């Protein structure tokens, strides 16, 4: 089975069901699939062959979905890039990818045009938002004529080996160049089936999508809902949380997904509490994309509608998205856990020399399964570091408890030494959030001649008051040993994040240093 078969099968079973809602547009499975087929035939007509890379630079929209499945159907490898990247950053990746074609949405066309694509031998196509004529139009730079109407709307149905690369997904890596994770059709199909199973998704499910499709988590929301014949509602204006909640109520969404910062914003800067009785259809909220403090989870359990479960999940781009999840009934008992492996995944805790750690012993989390990537694109060194006979090395440290639940205690490369103590900043961040005085925070080590590092941090305060920092530090002193209490904290409005919404620790330190100089 191939990834685009999910869409094709649902277009067969539910042709008239609404697959995608975006702003005023409501598009059925039949229309999405037919237009994606036309995109595929247009690409094939341009000489795109299986194994060629085709890059998509497009915001979350109907056009994105049509472009994404169109590329897969043409047999090419689909590469979605973050459209907010600067043209120089995109050009760097194009040099590495050597794509045959680049499809850009009209919104980003003028930025992309500044790149010398002729030198790279890349054909540029522009995909537009829905018009009266159709759900999308595709045209070359030379002519505004829509290329799609003359193309066949039938599934191209190319024979493609499921074990060949289907997509390259760039990680958000805050340090150094992003890495291109190569995922096969089989990887993504396996993971999609597992996610559908544990979330018990059906054709009745409607997902509110506020996360970008160009990352793996957004893609998994799309693939899983297309697989079951469900619906995605796209809202790219999460900053306006009151509007997002209103749309969730109006569209009767059954699922919402976010990263920790999404939920911090929902708790502290949205009218979620007022919506407690206005979201009768909302079955679950899922969270991935990094550690979410216990305090936030418990607050969400209090404030979400009683029938809404919170599904905490863990994964990686290298795992096609998902590795573990906490069954909602176990969340309170295992509040700090990342859960149990999803079906098809085996997780182990290994020492540096590769031997298996026992229950409660800390080591690196290593995963095996049909969903694990084949490697990083044109980066053999990184591939050899991440993949070996034991599986995919997540770079996360953790342990397994007596019930088989896994826990992450920190990043392998993020351990701080303070006065001889090994410290995991996550533990301190959790205590600061637990104080109830902070919306978000980040703790890091600043080099110190005496201690090795001293702990400093940035905090978004929950209230504007002069004594917030003192209160937080007092709370830390009550809850933590002295060496884990930060030296000082700086109050700030926004903590630097990368485009996937994860806290950018490197940028946070830079900001801290520059503010301190002022």
CA-to-CA distance for 192 and 228, rounded, in angstroms? 10
Check binding of 213 to another protein (CB under 8 A). Answer: no
Check binding of 493 to another protein (CB under 8 A). Answer: yes
Query: In this chain, which of 60, 74, 241, 287 binds another protein, going by CB under 8 A?
Result: 241
Q: Which is nearer to another protein, 269 or 307 (CB)?
A: 269
Q: CB within 8 A of 244, min separation 6: which ones?
A: 208, 210, 235, 237, 238, 270
Query: In this chain, which of 80, 171, 191, 265 binds another protein, going by CB under 8 A?
Result: 265
Query: In this chain, which of 114, 131, 204, 274 binds another protein, going by CB under 8 A?
Result: 274
Q: What tokens does 278 get?
A: 């206005």
Q: How far is the CB of 502 from another protein (least distance, A)?
A: 12
The long-range contacts involving 22-25, CB below 8 angstroms and separated by at least 24 positions, are: 22/60, 22/61, 22/62, 22/233, 22/234, 25/62, 25/129, 25/130, 25/135
CA-to-CA distance for 319 and 163, rounded, in angstroms? 15
Q: Which is nearer to another protein, 174 or 390 (CB)?
A: 174
Name the segment binding another protein (CB under 8 A); options: 195-203, 238-246, 333-341, 465-473. Answer: 238-246
Name the segment binding another protein (CB under 8 A); options: 98-106, 160-168, 241-249, 250-258. Answer: 241-249
Q: What tokens does 169 get?
A: 């997904």
Site string for another protein, 447-486 (x = CB under 8 A): -----------------x----------------------
Q: How far is the CB of 438 from another protein (least distance, A)?
A: 14
Q: What tokens does 128 get?
A: 């537009």
Cα within 13 Å of Cα(31), Cβ side: 18
Q: Which is nearer to another protein, 31 or 495 (CB)?
A: 495
Phi, psi of 409 (to 5 degrees): -105, -10
Site string for another protein, 243-262 (x = CB under 8 A): x--x--------------x-
Task: Give CA separation, 112 vs 52, 106, 128, in Å.
Answer: 20, 10, 15
Check binding of 269 to another protein (CB under 8 A). Answer: yes
Name the segment binding another protein (CB under 8 A); options: 143-151, 154-162, 277-285, 493-501. Answer: 493-501
- Number of chain residues interacting with another protein (CB under 8 A): 21
Name the residue among 134, 124, 126 with its Cα closest to residue 32. 134
What DSSP line would sit under 310-358, residue for residue? EEEEEEEGGGTEEEEE--GGGTTTTTT--BEEPTTEEEEEE-TTSPBP-
Site string for another protein, 42-81 (x = CB under 8 A): ----------------------------------------
Query: In this chain, which of 49, 84, 133, 154 binds another protein, going by CB under 8 A?
Result: 84
CA-to-CA distance for 368 and 390, rounded, in angstroms? 7
Sign of CA dihedral 192, 197, 199, 201: positive
Query: In this chain, which of 238, 377, 392, 406 binds another protein, going by CB under 8 A?
Result: 238
Classify strands 123-127 and 101-105 as parallel, antiparallel or unpaired.
parallel
Q: Which is nearer to another protein, 243 or 477 (CB)?
A: 243
Check binding of 236 to another protein (CB under 8 A). Answer: yes
Q: Identify the bridge partners of residue 174 per DSSP, sorted by sequence position.
A: none
Q: CB within 8 A of 462, min separation 6: which ones?
A: 268, 436, 437, 438, 439, 468
Check binding of 271 to another protein (CB under 8 A). Answer: yes
Query: In this chain, which of 197, 239, 333, 515 binds another protein, going by CB under 8 A?
Result: 239
Q: How far is the CB of 242 from another protein (least distance, A)?
A: 4
Q: Which is nearer to another protein, 270 or 371 (CB)?
A: 270
Name the segment binding another protein (CB under 8 A); options: 200-208, 300-308, 349-357, 492-500. Answer: 492-500
Check binding of 270 to another protein (CB under 8 A). Answer: yes
Q: CB within 8 A of 124, min separation 6: which ones?
A: 101, 102, 104, 112, 113, 117, 140, 141
Q: How far is the CB of 199 from another protein (least distance, A)?
A: 25
Name the segment binding another protein (CB under 8 A); options: 35-43, 240-248, 347-355, 403-411. Answer: 240-248
Q: CB within 8 A of 246, min separation 6: which ones?
A: none
Query: In this chain, which of 197, 242, 465, 490 binds another protein, going by CB under 8 A?
Result: 242
State the residues that interact with another protein by CB under 8 A: 84, 236-243, 246, 261, 265, 269-272, 274, 464, 493-494, 497
């Amino acid at each position: 089975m191939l990834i685009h078969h999910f869409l094709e099968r649902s277009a067969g079973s539910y042709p008239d069901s609404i697959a995608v809602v975006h702003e005023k547009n409501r598009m059925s499975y039949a229309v999405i699939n037919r237009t994606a087929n036309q995109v595929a035939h247009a690409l094939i007509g341009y000489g795109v062959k299986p194994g060629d890379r085709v890059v998509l630079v497009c915001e979350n929209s109907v056009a994105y979905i049509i472009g994404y499945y169109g590329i897969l159907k043409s047999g090419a490898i689909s590469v979605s890039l973050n459209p907010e990247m600067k043209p120089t950053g995109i050009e760097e990746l194009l040099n590495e990818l050597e794509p045959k074609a680049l499809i850009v949405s009209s919104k980003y066309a003028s930025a992309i045009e500044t790149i010398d694509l002729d030198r790279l031998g890349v054909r540029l196509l522009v995909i537009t938002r829905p018009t009266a004529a159709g759900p999308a139009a595709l045209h070359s730079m030379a002519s505004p004529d829509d290329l799609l109407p003359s193309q066949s709307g039938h599934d191209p149905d190319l024979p493609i080996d499921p074990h060949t690369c289907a997509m390259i997904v760039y990680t958000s890596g805050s340090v150094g160049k992003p890495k291109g994770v190569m995922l096969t059709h089989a990887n993504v199909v396996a993971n999609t089936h597992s996610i559908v199973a544990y979330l018990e998704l059906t054709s009745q499910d409607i997902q509110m999508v506020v996360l970008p499709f160009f990352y793996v988590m957004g893609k998994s929301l799309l693939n899983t809902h297309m697989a079951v014949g469900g619906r995605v509602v796209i809202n790219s204006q999460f900053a306006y949380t009151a509007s997002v909640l209103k749309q969730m109520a109006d569209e009767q969404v059954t699922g919402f997904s976010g990263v920790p910062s999404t939920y911090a914003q929902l708790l502290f800067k949205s009218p979620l509490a007022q919506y407690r009785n206005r979201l009768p259809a909302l079955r679950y909220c899922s969270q991935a994309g990094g550690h979410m403090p216990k305090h936030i989870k418990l607050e969400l359990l209090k404030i979400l509608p009683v029938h809404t479960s919170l599904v905490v999940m863990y994964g990686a781009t290298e795992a096609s998205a998902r590795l573990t999840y906490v069954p909602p009934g176990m969340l309170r008992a295992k509040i700090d856990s990342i859960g149990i492996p999803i079906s098809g995944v085996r997780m182990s805790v290994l020492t540096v020399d590769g031997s298996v750690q026992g229950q409660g012993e800390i080591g690196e989390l290593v995963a095996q399964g049909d969903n694990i990537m084949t490697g990083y694109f044109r980066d053999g060194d990184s591939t050899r570091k991440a993949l070996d006979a034991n599986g995919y090395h997540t770079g996360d440290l953790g342990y397994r408890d007596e019930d088989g639940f896994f826990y992450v205690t920190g990043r392998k490369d993020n351990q701080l030494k303070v006065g001889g103590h090994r410290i995991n900043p996550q533990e301190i961040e959790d205590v600061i959030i637990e104080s109830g005085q902070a919306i978000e925070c980040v703790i890091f080590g600043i080099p110190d001649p005496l201690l090795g590092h001293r702990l400093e941090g940035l905090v978004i305060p929950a209230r504007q008051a002069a004594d917030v920092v003192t209160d937080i530090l007092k709370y830390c002193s009550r809850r933590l040993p002295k060496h884990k209490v930060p030296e000082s904290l700086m109050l700030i409005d926004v903590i630097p994040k990368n485009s996937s919404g994860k806290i950018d620790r490197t940028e946070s330190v830079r900001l801290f240093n520059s503010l301190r100089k002022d």
